[in-house]
A and B are shown apart, each in its own frame.
Chain A
Amino acid sequence: MAGTGVLMLLFLVAHMLGNLKVFFGPEEFNSYAGWLRTIGEPVLHASWFLWLQRFGLIACVVLHGVAAYQLSRRDLAARPTRYQHRPPARASYATRTMRWGGVILALFIVWHILDLTTLTVNPLGKPHHPYENVVADFQVWYVNVIYIVAMLALGFHIRHGFWSAAQTLGANSRDRDRLLKVTANVLAVALTAGFIAVPVAVMIGVVS
């Protein structure tokens, strides 16, 4: 859980930074996308890194999802009878919504790949023109809604997930606890804001 979560998190940080290149215009962004396909050359063939990363990520998502499913099954089985009186939980909203947040993210990832990788559902769907595809995307209101909802879910998922992973991996300690919680919040806000910046920028016309 924690291992795959952290790997995906690392990818997302890079991915978000990459996405922000959208603000430097189509050339910059498209060449970045192109560069992605040349990483590792000449040791690796073109796009190998990308494929490695794709396999890695798919493995992560699948493993993470499977682990989440198994853990959830076990956890539900460990509390077969619920309490009659259920007061509001004292755990944070982020903590309580890990399962649903994860499901939203899973659905989003499928949509997102169909949208921007395979271009199946992309309104433009022009291969090798990611910038244009992205801009086309966020002209459509419901695509904006999908992305923004997903990004909010992501923020919550990370807010608890980052600290939780540190706790699970035993990386937390008395002195570090505060720092980790602050970092989790910063990461969550930065990633959410960073990702949302793109659709918002397209919507208000800063990027077009």
Chain B
Amino acid sequence: MTTYTSYTVGDPIADTKAPDGPIAERWSRRRFEAKLVNPSNRRKHTVIVVGTGLAGGSAGATLAEQGYRVVQFCYQDSPRRAHSIAAQGGINAAKNYRNDGDSVHRLFYDTVKGGDFRARESNVHRLAEASVEIIDQCVAQGVPFAREYGGLLDTRSFGGVQVSRTFYARGQTGQQLLLGAYQALSRQIEAGNVEMHARTEMLDLIVVDGRARGIVARDLVTGQISVHLADAVVLASGGYGNVFYLSTNAKNSNASAIWRAHRRGAYFGNPCFTQIHPTCIPRSGDHQSKLTLMSESLRNDGRIWVPKAKADTRSPDQIPEAERDYYLERIYPSFGNLVPRDIASRAAKVVCDDGHGVGPGGQGVYLDFGDAIARMGRDKVAEKYGNLFEMYERITAEDPYSRPMRIYPAVHYTMGGLWVDYDLSTTVPGLFAIGEANFSDHGANRLGASALMQGLADGYFVLPATLNDYLARASHDAVEPDHPAVAEAVADVEDRLNLLLAIDGDRTPDSFHRELGELLWDECGMARSEAGLHKALDRIPELREEFWRRVKVPGTGAELNQSLEKANRISDYLELAELMCLDALHRSESCGGHFRVESQAADGEAVRDDKDFSYVAAWEFTGSGSAPVLHKEALDFEYVHPTQRSYA
């Protein structure tokens, strides 16, 4: 197994596909220069799409419409259940329907800045351009966005931007967008253009002569291991936030698809960039299995505080005004409770670590609507936030109208992922990564309502254009199913599963996952220190060794075996976690979601280091047990000039 005690720095890597010239023309130029595949030849090409979330669903439907033969996978029992379904807030688009000064350029600007200058300008601009088409596409599919009485689309402002560009469908925007893509995909399944394999998990990538030519997958019901060959493979398998065990991600979201592709040669970009969302419902005990997000819109009217006294166990209404610390308002007087996600999260951690936290384990702060209710009246508050209050009460059995909510930050999104060029191609030709699975356009921090935009831009508009180019340029001789590379991939998968079943140890898979998650949360979570990261880097290999010695997986591989699925995913997390810590250790600056305690100003503000770290870290896997290689992709900023963020 891998042990990363160190790394080496390899050649820099460049994004060779991005055209230059004026930024607003780059995408149309790339599209024009991309070669096309003759429509009558498309049927001869098979494309594998792993994942049916916003990215995979939209890509599968669009590629099938174009005439390709699509073979698609998801681990859930239906493509409609991909994790994208849980997104609440909304989706950004530079429509400027409000005439409030929004434009493609402004969305581009906000996103580059919001990402703390660690994203590519070309990509982000393209994203902003596509955002406009996305809304048109989704409306045509029947996505029931919120509308005004005149029958036109409603928007709201979100995540601290000054324009109202977020389109939404109550608190279920992700659900509605995903169902739109799922329905488009369903149409193609019925038409015979998509061969859908639900409850089937990709477990390895098949690389033949340096090109991605297929996958090895396991039918989760029968346990059957199967080989699927194609001319290109698209990974749309989502983020890896679940490496932390507790996160807002769906329980079975996993890193296996991208991690195994990484092991087969795809570089991993910025693995340490994770987003911690400030307003989640705190855990209630050791049994906690996942965390639930509360929309950040709550911070518009709620006030955040903790008791001034440490370990104060009085009930909140017993704590007089003078004994409360409204710490965000105190530290950031001009932004107050509306500071960006990373700052709000970190501040909560600081006060809790200091002993002021409330609720079980002191891991919580109050989000108080008392003043809002006094000012606006209970009915107005209910109208605005009623469904969120209800959800909170269902989970905690506390009534947020009469008692302040308790919130705490939680892992929410991973900006890191497989490194891709402008064409969304990984470093393995023929292997593409879209949606949260790639290292994405969000840099070191993602703004609200932009992941949905990115997933759909990739799937509906970007990939279908760039994939044509790849398929038109390369020649694709059929791969024989008995090719040695195929046999090797199958054998690897089978060996790994058999080993997991054979250990028959004395610890459950979940117990390892919880331990790993806690370690990562402590050392590679909201604040990261050199000492802590070293500690984690020492502990992870030990834990991994223990896992392969003591894990217990009952049952067999030839049946529905959820323990086996879990253990298999955890085995990948145990490797990925190490790369995350190594990446976090090497990037000794603070930027976006990545806060290194060594890199802060006297007032506690994060300090970015553009001189040394204005690059994407693309990690190369060099084999189990050997040090990975770091390839740096330098980032240039021609249009938005890096400035230090300040919210004080």
User: Touch between A and B in complex, CB under 8 Å?
Assistant: no
**Which of A's residues lie within 8 Å of B, judged by CB?**
none
